[in-house]
Structure 1
Amino acid sequence: MPWSVVASGLGLGLALIVAIGAQNAHVLRQGMRREHVGTVVAICAVSDAALVVVGTAGLGAVIAASTVLRVTMTLLGAAVLLGYAAMAARRALRHSPSDGLTVGTERPGSVRPGARWGPVALTTLALTWLNPHVYLDTVVLLGSVAAGQGEARWWFAAGAVAGSLTWFTALGLGARLLSPLLARPGAWRVVDAVIATVMLVIAFRLVAGLWSVG
């Protein structure tokens, strides 16, 4: 096994996904609220793995060459991010002081009352598959770098997939350590306000980048 190639894939994969973005903000929020964390982590990790495989197989070059596809993905992704930014902002404005008091009182691994699997899974899928940055990072960039590894490209892809799984697992499960902090009144206002800001900034940058290219 070419460990240096695996390590390169692991390092680049982590470098691309560790930066705080819409997907990471969602995983962090679900982890802190202990709402279907396993589902969220699994969707993100499996989705990343599928996209890395697709990119390594050669589809990244096709997407990069299609102006129509890139523009469509960018506009759709920006619209989705704006929608979720609005919902996060609404939560930040409507939270009552008692909203944060139940955080950290559940048993480890428990699911908060009222948390539904369907909406959580759909939100995770949307923030993953409708985010243009995911395709640019996994399919296009990682796929291109993997192609340069020749016959060892699948080992490189394996390293990138391992990095994705490690990060999302650590982010989702490690977020529980923040539960005592979030038991303070008003803490969730700050969390949701930050999430709304992150998604809004990313959406703006997507549209601005499209405009500059055009």
Structure 2
Amino acid sequence: MLSPLLAGLGLGLSLIVAIGAQNAFVLRQGLRREHVAVVVLLCALSDAVLIALGVWGLGTLIEQAGWLLAVVRIAGAAFLVWYGIRSAVRSFRPGTLGAESGGSPIPFRTAVITVLALTWLNPHVYLDTVVLLGSIGASYGDDQWWFAVGAMLGSVLWFSALGFGSRLLEPLFARPIAWRILDAAIALVMLALAASLLIGL
């Protein structure tokens, strides 16, 4: 039991601990201390659902439905371009930033919609979380659900650390220039991811 759980934990963390659209948003919300608990919870729950679906066998169906991934790629790229442009505008317009908040507060509804879109409109989520984790989890036979639990635990640990631990960086973000650099970096990540999605079509 312990081996599949640790394997799931290790692989789950290896896939999720990377600079991406979802992680960038969680980091920014953590630094701003806005809706952090809800954002972390939605990320972890979404991953749990996707991991469970993968172990259950949805990954095989996704691999056979190439058109579905193409649709998700286009929708995801469009959303990433929009979010990337917004971040770029914040980085080039000092008037939209505040020294303590990094800009005007994001409404709760907007934060929820954004984190759900960054999660569910990302085709890499389906390839990594559903297909890859699902296929590897299936190799554990009767212990595949312990593998899934380990991967889910990795997601909870990572998003909690990113969302709630980011406040340790607050001294660094006490100046507006730090927020401008962060938003510029986020814009580059979002636009680069959007380009990679479209190139992969």
TM-score tier (shorter): over 0.9
TM-score using structure 1 length: 0.90
- The question of whether the paired residues in 1 share the 8 Å contact of 2:98 and 2:104 is answered with no
1:115 CA drift (Å)? 4.0
Query: Residues 11 and 202 from structure 1, CA distance in 2 versus in 1: closer, same or farther, beyond 3 angstroms?
Result: same
Paired residue type of 1:27:
V
Indicate the larger mover: 28-37 or 179-188. Answer: 179-188
Partner of 1:93: 92
> Residues 156 and 79 from structure 1, CA distance in 2 versus in 1: closer, same or farther, beyond 3 angstroms?
same
C-alpha displacement of 1:54? 0.6
CA distance in 2 between counterparts of 1:90 and 1:188 reads 12
The match for 2:66 is 67
Matching residue within 171, 184, 190 for 1:193: 184
Whole-angstrom CA distance in 2 between matches of 1:128 and 1:98: 26
Name the aligned partner's letter for residue 85 of structure 2.
A
CA distance in 2, matches of 1:177, 1:196: 23
- 2-structure distance, mates of 1:185, 1:63: 44
| Alpha-carbon separation, structure 1, partners of 2:98 and 2:143 | 50
2:156 corresponds to which residue? 165
Unaligned runs of 5+ in 1: 105-111
* 2:122 corresponds to which of 119, 131, 140: 131
Q: Structure 2: any 5+ residue segments left out of the alignment? A: none
Q: For 1:18 and 1:79, locate their aligned partners in 2 and report how far apart those are by CA, in whole Å.
A: 24
Q: Distance in 2 between matches of 1:152 and 1:80?
A: 37
CA distance in 2, matches of 1:53, 1:68: 23
User: Contact (CA 8 Å) 2:90, 2:96: kept in 1 or not?
Assistant: no
Which residue matches 1:154? Answer: 145
Residue identity over aligned pairs, in percent, reads 54
Residue 131 of structure 2 is matched in structure 1 by 140
Number of the residue aligned with 1:41: 40
